[in-house]
Chain A
């Protein structure tokens, strides 16, 4: 499983990449493989205020709908509109074109509190 070194990870399999004040959020390669063929992604409204741990998106495979939890709190400032036409991007490029949303964060404490790649890799192989 691909676990990029430069990202932070939540226990519930979301990843975060901090770009200035914005946290880009997606789901890990492990999560997309577990969910299997993704056929629909429901994303939050831009402007929504969220807190860490909140269910903010739903990813649906042929088998089931799964909640995706905010790894960090803040204001949703952008969502990945490309997923409406091609939800399978989450499967094929989970750390790139398959990102889910961007969150305007206050400070980086919540991001720093997430797992690093080594800790997350240990969680999914453990």
Chain B
């Protein structure tokens, strides 16, 4: 493939300057690491890290009919959040399978912002447009926005250094509009690492200035640029699912153990009937986290999982946990075995190693 086959974010030049190595992720050429995945993972757990999330899609939904329509498109209940708040939610198919997992923000000025996965932009938009109703304006703003995730134990300290000590920070799952040096920022207290943190969305023209400004402001706190490698190990320690790996149109949020983000009491939403039937019948598989209990190579996605000598599943994610220094992963296990402390074996290149099902999350940040 040539470079022209990949999209790059407005921060591509900044990544090159910072010494990034790149990988191709959902059609995007994104930094996988700068100093190293282990060091970046540690920076987020102990200090702070800065991630480019400009590849994620931003879609706004406005109009008189926006709320009732969106509430029929998404699994969680938008009535539970107030202006300036956001919630984690799913876009489901009729079978209750996951098309995408996303954050829905109820904006203070009215309307909603959906932040969707980069690799699902076209799929999500096609799905939403095919169900579009009168009085609803759906706008893809992905190419206008740049996004940065500032994550880590010292994220608040970096926020203060960048925006000013007298600027009040949004609370958990809140979103606020802030201005700095002529740029308007939409700042949410959200993230996907398990640590405190913020996600900033702003006009793509301010991308490099914001990147440089945050790294300078955050240097005393130990802020480091972080790539998708650390993003993956951080989210896996928290058992946060990655769409395309742990979530798919073949699995429902009930199977993924994420029913908290599905409101079956809502009168109507796509996938509801299938989920009610599944709840009634009981799920046959559940996504559970496991930890390796003997010295072995790190587990990875698509490794066979054994129980009592029989192959019962395949891992959907796996890696070495940099914090725990053991192999960890996720797999959809038959419901009869999907219990905490249940022993499993993971087949790693033809050899089986002992593992145990654990409680979520695998790591609990301080």
Which residue numbers of A lie inside 8 Å of B, CB to CB?
Answer: 36-37, 39-40, 42, 58, 60-63, 65, 84
Contact = CB atoms under 8 A, between A and B. Distances in A.
B297 A37 contact: no
Contact of A42 (B39, B229, B297): B297
Given A37-B36, A37-B38, A62 B297 contact: no
A39 B326 CA distance: 10
Contact of B36 (A36, A42, A58): A36
Contacts of B229: 62-63
Contact of B298 (A36, A39, A84): A39
What class of interface size applies to chain B in its complex with A? 10 to 19
A65 B322 CA distance: 16
12 contacts: A36-B33, A36-B36, A37-B37, A37-B39, A40-B296, A40-B298, A60-B298, A62-B38, A62-B298, A62-B319, A63-B229, A65-B300
A40 B37 contact: no
Nearest to B300: A65
A125 B84 CA distance: 53
B131 interface: no
Contacts of A36: 21, 33, 36-37
Given A36-B33, A36-B36, A39-B320, A62 B300 contact: no
Interface in B265-311: 295-298, 300
A62 B317 CA distance: 12
B320 A40 contact: yes
Contacts of B296: 40
Contacts of A58: 297, 349
Contacts of A37: 36-39
Interface in B1-47: 21, 32-33, 36-39
B316 interface: no
A45 to B, nearest CB: 13
B54 interface: no
A124 to B, nearest CB: 16
Given A58-B349, A63-B32, A84 B295 contact: yes
Given A62-B229, A62-B319, A40 B297 contact: yes
B151 interface: no
B363 to A, nearest CB: 15
B76 interface: no
A54 to B, nearest CB: 16
Nearest to B36: A37
Contacts of B38: 37, 39, 62
Contacts of A40: 296-298, 320
B233 interface: yes
Given A37-B36, A37-B38, A65-B297, 7 more contacts: A37-B39, A58-B297, A60-B320, A62-B319, A62-B322, A63-B32, A63-B37
B290 to A, nearest CB: 17
A62 to B, nearest CB: 4
A61 B297 CA distance: 10
A34 to B, nearest CB: 9
A36 B322 CA distance: 14
Nearest to A59: B297
Contacts of A60: 297-298, 320
A63 to B, nearest CB: 6
A39 B295 CA distance: 12
B241 to A, nearest CB: 19
Contacts of B300: 65
B208 to A, nearest CB: 26
Nearest to A42: B297
A82 to B, nearest CB: 14
B4 to A, nearest CB: 25
Contacts of B39: 37
A75 B349 CA distance: 23
